[in-house]
Structure 1
Amino acid sequence: MKVIEFSHEHAEPITLFESVSASSVHIGDGVGEAHVYCIYFEPNSVIGRHQAGYGQLFLVISGEGWASGEDDHRVKLTAGQGAYFERGEFHSKGSDTGMTVIMVQVSDLNPQTIHITSQPST
């Protein structure tokens, strides 16, 4: 698992299309079948350990929770952070207090590496 930072401080101004006061963070690119979900975690919720069928971005947009990858070590995630799971990687996620997440699944997903931490701190 890799932690992804997509908070506002990492955003770059959008200069195309006569944009005004808008910015973005390039999170990744992919090829193949794709699925996007909004997931609501209630307090004390868990999605149990399973193998990722797709490359997956798990992006926290509100609240806080945790995710774990192959090593089964829980890493805290808050709004503006996320996790990337490679296709086939065993993982789980959950929240003690509640969180809302956008989950993007793509057959072959390549996250933007500029804001990825491969050795997340706890």
Structure 2
Amino acid sequence: MEFYSINKENGKRISKFNSNFIMSRIIQTDKPANIGYMHLEDNGVIGYHQAVVPQLLIIINGEGYVRNEKEEYFKVQSGDAVYWEKGEWHETKSEKGLTAIVIESEELNPSTFMPFK
């Protein structure tokens, strides 16, 4: 399990096409990727299971807790990203709810674009 930070300070200002915004790159894949948006309501849980492929969980809103094979939970919140290798056991839960984007692909290397937290 690895933790990454997605925040404005690690982004790059974009001015092309008369734009004015900051882009924080997340991932690039050459192989197919599945991308989903998850809604965990109050006391929601993504049950303890093995990752079928490498996956990256990006917390968009709210907060919760994640763990891997160890039973120690780590707090996550908006702006955090958690990466699990293929075969790694993991769980996500939230007392107050959270929304997240999950990216799953045989080829994920989040450290290419995001700094470790």
TM-score by length of 2: 0.89
Instruction: Render the CA deviation track for 1:9-28: whole Å, top value 9, x for unaligned.
Output: 2211124x425221111222
| Over 3 Å off, 4+ runs | none
- Name the SS of the counterpart of 2:9 in structure 1: helix
Q: Where does residue 101 of structure 1 map in the other structure? A: 100
Match of 2:4 in 1: 4
Q: Taking every aligned residue pair, what percent have the same amino acid on both sides?
A: 30
Unmatched tracts of structure 1, length 5 or more:
118-122
Encode CA deviations 1:52-85: one digit per residue, 9 max, x unaligned: 0111110011111111123232111111111011
* Conserved? CA contact 1:41–1:99, under 8 Å: yes
5 Å-filtered alignment, 1:77-96, equals 77-96=76-95
* Contact preservation (8 Å) 1:61, 1:100: yes
Please say if 1:59 is aligned against 2:61: no
- Describe the shift of the 1:32–1:40 C-alpha distance in structure 2 as closer, same or farther (beyond 3 A): same
Are 1:23 and 2:22 an aligned pair? Answer: yes
1:10 and 1:25 in contact (8 A); partners too = yes
Is 1:44–1:94's contact at 8 Å kept on the other side of the alignment? yes
Q: Aligned Cα RMSD in Å?
A: 1.6
Which letter does structure 2 place at the counterpart of 1:104? I
Aligned residues: 116
Residues 35-50 of structure 1: pairs in structure 2 closer than 5 A: 35-50=34-49
Higher-strand-fraction structure: 1
With the length of structure 1 as denominator, give the TM-score of the two structures: 0.85
